[in-house]
Chains A and B, each alone.
Chain A
Amino acid sequence: MASLIRASVLPDTRQAKRRDWSVGIPAFMAIRRLGIAGMTGAAIIMCMIVMAVAVPLVSPYGIAETRSGERLREPEFAHPFGTDRLGRDQFTRAAAAGRTSLTATFLALALSLTIGVGLGLLAGHAGGGIDMVVMRVADVIMALPTLVLGIVVAALFGPALLTVVIATVSFWWAGYARVTRTLVRQVRNEPFVEASRAIGATPWRIATREVLPHIWGPIIVMAALDVGSLLMTLSGLSFLGLGAQPPTPEWGLMLADGRAYFMDAPFLMFFPGLMIFLCVLGVNLLGTALRQRITTSV
């Protein structure tokens, strides 16, 4: 936080901007500076993405291809994750499920960030009544447990992957709105913002060109630390039968399907869960490393 304020008193706003960007997005590119844990996290995420994209393309089995002669096979070389009751290759499906889960997660994150940061900017700049309304709504949402809200909203609007994404976004934005508003409050009276206002810049330009680049860093880090719990919430809702519907490959749904063969084929529930765990672990390792970088670079 202190770095933002210090950077912002520099006379040249362009230079100030550049300094702040260095704690934000370019941190992803400066992989070497993330430490072993952060690098491990980044590597896990890369593997997951490559697997999700490539495996269904090169796999000899189709995502929904059933083989009646190969039902409930134990993990072996031909089927590293085994096969399910319809003889579908679980490795191919787990990889394809990565597409579903990762896309849903990033869609939910992008929407939450857009709404949250947008409302936060609005509340922080406008102040007064708008500020109060937005912040009180955010307070109430943040007081409630996210999973229960997700379950209720998803249940009322019918089970589907998109419902779950919308349900999650409908309360996930609140945290970002809160943080954005606080950060806006901190920089809105800095000389470079005032200078911009003095030369007649529009509120939109001030918000997007002056304020936003300054406060991006902490918001990105917060979002990075959130990806894991977002993924777990979305998959958890699918696990409960509220999200993705068969035959869509999705980790939570595959895990739930595997429960029926709990005794005979425990691998059916083991591997999809392992994928969720590894993904979340990777994101959390990277997020923690990013946070450390932003706090130690002060």
Chain B
Amino acid sequence: MNDGALRDLAEVDRLIHEPARLVICTILYTVKEADFLFLLNESGLTKGNLSSHLTKLEEAGYIDIRKIFNEKKPQTLCSMTPAGRSAFEEYRKYFKKIIERMNGE
């Protein structure tokens, strides 16, 4: 890996780059909204782990979390904000560039 690629890697969005959050972001980028149960099943994380990653993404303004009651049962709905979408798109572009550089070596 050359210096340019290393520099690019250092500048990558670490909030998204973390594997569990990358899975969550990818799912939420693909859909309009998903609930906690769906994210739990698809990500394979524990409830506590998923909760903490969602909070981090919400604090960064990347996702919106809404709590509603559906037939008297609590439901947590998550969706990606426009800021989250553009951050995720940037992240993908960045990584594509790094991979292209590495392949070009």
Chains A and B form a bound pair: no
Which residues from chain A sit less than 8 Å from chain B, CB to CB?
A: none
